[in-house]
Amino acid sequence: MTVALYAGTFDPITYGHIDIAIRAAKLFDNVIVGIYDSTANKKILFSTEERIKLAKTAFKEMPNIEVRPFTGLVVDFAKDVGADTLVRGLRSTADFEYEFEMELMNKNLRPELELVYLMASLQFQFLSSSRLKEVAALGGNIENMVPKHVWKALKTRLAERKQAEE
């Protein structure tokens, strides 16, 4: 059985991530969407539990996609879940530099792990979770970038944040 790990922060999950995971689910028997349970390097809007819930809802119709949190090294989590492959999305040449560096490090840590890159679909090339949150906070329309339940959660969280600031 082929198992692939698609890891990320997913704060929150977008159509760009969903596109990559669903395409990966056609290539592998099982895809684990690994939600990185760390807030050390990023400004996180949703807790790990919330990010898991949003991702689980997004993949509820996909029986071979499983959502799980992880801490520590991605290569160790891949081993724990029996994944021989890491799936990554590539959006631009800027992603390539960053991915290349990450690949070298991950390969160094676990040489037997394979990395598979899927080009982001054209309509999601511009998308990132940070940009999405910025646009949503400024009242921009993000309906075509996230599923309805994510949009709803974002609106609620941003309103809570605004209220707390006032």
Residues carrying an active site annotation: 17, 42, 91, 129
Q: Which of 138, 44, 19 is nearest to 155 (CA)?
A: 138
Contacts of 21 (CB under 8 A, 6+ apart): 6, 31, 33, 59, 62, 65, 87
Residue 56 or residue 163: which is nearer to ligand COA going by CB?
56
Binding test (CB under 6 A) with ligand COA, winner from 4, 87, 113, 127: 127
Restricted to residues 6-65, the positions that interact with ligand COA (CB under 6 A) are 7-9, 11, 14, 16-17, 20, 36
CA distances from 74 to 10, 15, 32 (A): 14, 23, 12
Decide if residue 128 touches ligand COA (CB under 6 A).
yes
Q: How far is the CB of 166 from ligand COA (least distance, A)?
A: 26
Residue nearest to ligand COA (CB): 16
In the block, residue with structure tokens 């993949």: 59
Q: How far is the CB of 73 from ligand COA (least distance, A)?
A: 4
Q: How far is the CB of 44 from ligand COA (least distance, A)?
A: 9
Decide if residue 67 touches ligand COA (CB under 6 A).
no
The token pair that represents 59 in the structure block: 């993949």
The token pair that represents 166 in the structure block: 């006032």
CA distances from 36 to 14, 39, 122, 161 (A): 15, 8, 26, 23
Angle at 132 between CA 25 and CA 116, to 5 degrees: 30
Tell me, by CB under 6 A, how many residues bind ligand COA.
22
Q: Which residues here bind ligand COA, judged by CB under 6 A?
A: 7-9, 11, 14, 16-17, 20, 36, 73-74, 89, 91, 102, 105-106, 120, 124, 127-130
